[in-house]
A and B are shown apart, each in its own frame.
Chain A
Amino acid sequence: MSTIGYESWAVDLADVGAIYPFQGWEVAMTVIGVIFWIGWHRIQFVREGQHLEEARKMGDKDKIDKMLDRY
């Protein structure tokens, strides 16, 4: 058994197409890819919201003045 569908290269390459592992599972892999992408946005949205909420309470007037002067 070979995950790429070929156990040796004793083939005519003119007859060979896809050689990636787990052919036939492209739709499932795409679903995993979409979950990975959407999941990333979800995590990032939540974390940034929390971070900004914490950051807005951290302000020290003198320090903010210095930051504004620094440009």
Chain B
Amino acid sequence: MDGNLDALTTVFTEFYYWVTVVFMFLIHVGFCMYEVGASRARNHMHTLMKNIMIIPLVTVTFFLFGWWIYWAFPNFWVFGGSIDFESGAANLPWSENMATNLGDRITGVFWAAFLLFSWTAASIVSGSVIERIRSSALWVHAVLIGSVFWIIDAAWGWHYAGWMVQKLGYHDAYASGVIHAIAGGYALGVIMVLGPRIGKFAKDGTPRDIPPHNPWMLTIGIFLIYTGFWGFYAACNVPAISPEAIGGQITGTTWTATNIYLAPTSLSAITFNFLMSLSGGLMAAYVVSKGDAFWTFSGGLAGVITASAGNDLYHPIQAMIVAAIGVVIVYNLHYWVERKFKLDDAVGAVAVHGYAGFIGLVIAGFVLWGAPSSPFEGYASINPVGQFLGAIIMFFVLGFLPGFVVAKLQSMAGVLRIPEEVELMGLDYAEHHAYEDAKAEIIAADKAALAAKS
């Protein structure tokens, strides 16, 4: 760190990303609470364990190869590009930068911010498959979505030099597509193969509601996700950088916050837009769901996700309206898909994340038409065709397709779904029967002790 300003900027940036990581931890806590609240009592421990173990599995694999993919793949094979071994080298697990190093104070916190996005992507998939998937199968999917597919899409469309940004003008500042559309698409691919929970559909195909066992846990869960989302938004920005450090077309000496593409925005702008899109989503969801509490809460999230692609540039009222439009479409699409294809999206994750993310990308293409996607020369500007193609790549190519293929392979090998008897009995008894047995044993022992005294 040369000079006081450089030192201050470095330490501020380091601390900034560190705080976002702590906030984003709450997203995972929220997902865990939401899933457990939504599952039935006989599946609690299994549901919780399924989501908790995403943390170590995705963390380890993201350290070993996920982070390298981000830096090495921005131009991989598309348009004659190749793997960027030079940029990737500093991010390999044996690099000095990926360790305690006083010469690099940023890689650790930046890696962690991306890692928390990885957990989120995996956790979105986890929610839609509760109460019938094998943990072993889900954990393979978690590694694939968390440390492979989402980070490929980030390299392509969420990197200042990604080919989608350069050629398509792809713009997705707060990850409508790169996290939510891909994870929702992936979940859709898995649940198509996995099938619905027993009892979800009547014999005539009419869907049944499977109510949450604990609505309050579910409510607190989603509020924690809202809270963690603040960290998610802040983590998508570079907090303070000079035009010289950006190295693009920006002239002058005025420092700025930027989005991930190094194009200017401000923390103030995204604070306006986060709150207005949350509000637009909540209000629209309340109306369209006729006051259904859980759809209203999820609608707030879906609203933010819909507006996220352009929330670095939208006017707050635009963010609110974009969110409201997205939520109305998402709600209707969810029930149409459920009825038409008999799919059991247990927590509405495909809808709230996948459809909202897809729609948000498309809308941003129109509202931000012609705006520069990057501060660098020669990049395509933001446009509806580029955003639509981007949405297809995120949702279908990198999300749905791998999810479907891997789930199909797992199904053929007989390792995707739990046996019907176990599903009816409950996973906690079948897999964690030691708890029930231990409980029964200690109750019997206590009763015997009591009887011996009397």
Segment from A39-47, A52-60, A62-70 that makes contact with B: A39-47
- Minimal beta-carbon separation of A60 from chain B (angstroms): 21
Chain A 1-56 interface residues, beta-carbon cutoff 8 Å to B: 1-4, 6-16, 19-22, 26, 29-30, 32-33, 36-37, 40, 43-44, 47, 51
Task: Let me know if A2 and B369 touch, CB within 8 A.
Answer: yes
Structural contact, A22 and B315, CB atoms closer than 8 A: yes
A4 to nearest B CB, angstroms? 4
Known: A8-B372, A9-B263. A30 touches B317 (CB 8 A): yes
Shortest CB–CB separation between residue B397 and chain A, in angstroms? 28
A1-B369, A9-B263, A20-B313 known, 14 other contacts, Cβ within 8 Å: A4-B313, A6-B371, A9-B249, A9-B250, A10-B377, A13-B254, A14-B252, A20-B315, A21-B368, A22-B315, A29-B315, A36-B283, A37-B283, A44-B286
A49 to B324, CA, bound (A): 24
Decide: A21 near B324, CB < 8 A? Known: A7-B370, A9-B372, A40-B283.
Answer: no
Which of chain B's residues have a CB closer than 8 A to the CB of A43? 287
Are A3 and B367 also in contact (CB < 8 A) when A20-B314, A21-B315, A44-B286 are? yes
Give the complex CA separation of A29 and B320 in angstroms: 11
Q: Is B371 a contact of A3 with CB atoms below 8 Å?
A: yes
Q: CB-CB < 8 A to A8: which residues of B?
A: 249, 372, 377
Q: Is the CB of A40 within 8 A of B287?
A: yes
Q: B318 to A20, Cβ gap below 8 A? A: yes
Task: Collect the chain A residues with CB atoms within 8 Å of residue B254's CB.
Answer: 12-14
Contacts of B313 in A (CB 8 A): 4, 19-21
Knowing A8-B249, A9-B248, say if A26 contacts B256 (CB, 8 Å): no
Partner of B315, one of A1, A26, A37, A51: A26
Say yes or no: B250 contacts A13, CB within 8 Å.
yes
Q: Tell whether, in the assembled complex, residue B283 and residue A11 are in contact, meaning their CB atoms are under 8 Å apart.
A: no
Cβ contact of A33, chosen from B263, B290, B317, cutoff 8 A: B317
Q: Provide the residues of chain B in CB contact with A36, threshold 8 Å.
A: 280, 283, 320-321, 324
Which A residue sits closest to B369, measured CB to CB?
A3
Closest chain B CB from A46 CB (angstroms): 11
Kindly state the separation between the CA atoms of A37 and B318 in the bound complex, as whole angstroms: 14
Residue of B nearest to A2 (CB): B370
27 interchain pairs (CB within 8 A)? A2-B381, A3-B369, A7-B370, A8-B372, A9-B248, A9-B249, A9-B372, A9-B374, A10-B249, A10-B251, A11-B251, A12-B252, A14-B254, A16-B264, A20-B314, A21-B313, A21-B367, A22-B315, A26-B315, A32-B317, A36-B280, A36-B283, A36-B324, A37-B283, A40-B287, A44-B286, A47-B291
Distance in Å from the Cβ of A48 to the closest Cβ of chain B?
A: 8
Q: Mark B256-268, 1 if CB is under 8 A from A, else 0.
A: 1000000111000
